[in-house]
Amino acid sequence: MTHSQDIERRTLIAGGLALAAVASPALARAKEENTMYGLIGQMKAAPGKRDELVAILSGSTGGMPGCLSYIVAKDAADADALWITEVWTDKASHAASLQLPAVQAAIAKARPIIAGFGHRFETVPIGGVGLANG
C-alpha cells in the first residue's frame, strides 16, 4: 500500500466513523419510536375477590390489536394481589386498547372490587419466548 493509498484509507475510515457518530442518535431515536411497549403492574382486589377479578381481567383480553402478551398472575405472597404483565407492539396500541368497548366494560365491572394498585413499571421489551426479537 502506498502512502497516498494509506491516507485515502484513513480519510475514508474517519469519514465513515464521523457519519456513524452523527447517524447513530437518529437511528436510535427511530428504532426507539418503533419499540415494543411493556407494562408490569400490581393490582389489589378487595379481600376475597381476587378470583373474581382474575376472571374479569382474563376474559377481556381477546381482540386487542397490538397486544402481543397479556398475563394475569396471582401474587404468591399476597392473597388479594395480582400481577398483570403486558407486551404491546407500541405504546399507541396500548393507549388505543383502553378505548375498546370490551376493555371499557371490563374496567367498569372490575372497578368496584379493585382495592388499589401496587408497583407499576413501564418496560421496553426486546424479545423472549413468544415475542419476535426486535
26 shares its domain with 49: no
Q: What is the largest CA-CA distance in the chain?
A: 82
| Residues whose CB is less than 8 angstroms from the CB of residue 129 and which lie 6 or more positions away in sequence, other chains included | none
* Distance from chain centroid for Cα 58: 18
| Within-domain flag for 67 | yes
| Within-domain flag for 133 | no
Total tally of structural domains belonging to the chain: 2
Task: Report the SS3 class of residue 68.
Answer: strand
Other Cβ atoms closer than 10 A to 133: 7
Q: Which long-range contacts (CB under 8 A, 24 or more apart) does 74-79 make?
A: 74/50, 75/42, 78/44, 79/50
18 shares its domain with 57: no
Range of the domain at 26: 1-34
Kindly report whether the global pTM for this prediction surpasses the value 0.85: no
pLDDT digits (tens, 9 = 90+) for 50-81: 999 999 998 866 778 999 999 999 999 999 99
| Within-domain flag for 132 | no
pLDDT digits (tens, 9 = 90+) for 32-45: 556 999 999 999 99
DSSP 28-42: HHHHHHT--EEEEEE
CB of 57 within 8 A of CB of 111?
Answer: no
Phi/psi at 117 (5° precision): -130, 145
50 shares its domain with 110: yes
Q: What is the CATH number of the domain that holds 111?
A: 3.30.70.100
User: pLDDT tier at 2 (50, 70, 90 boundaries)?
Assistant: low
Cα dihedral 17, 35, 33, 70 in deg (nearest 10) = -170
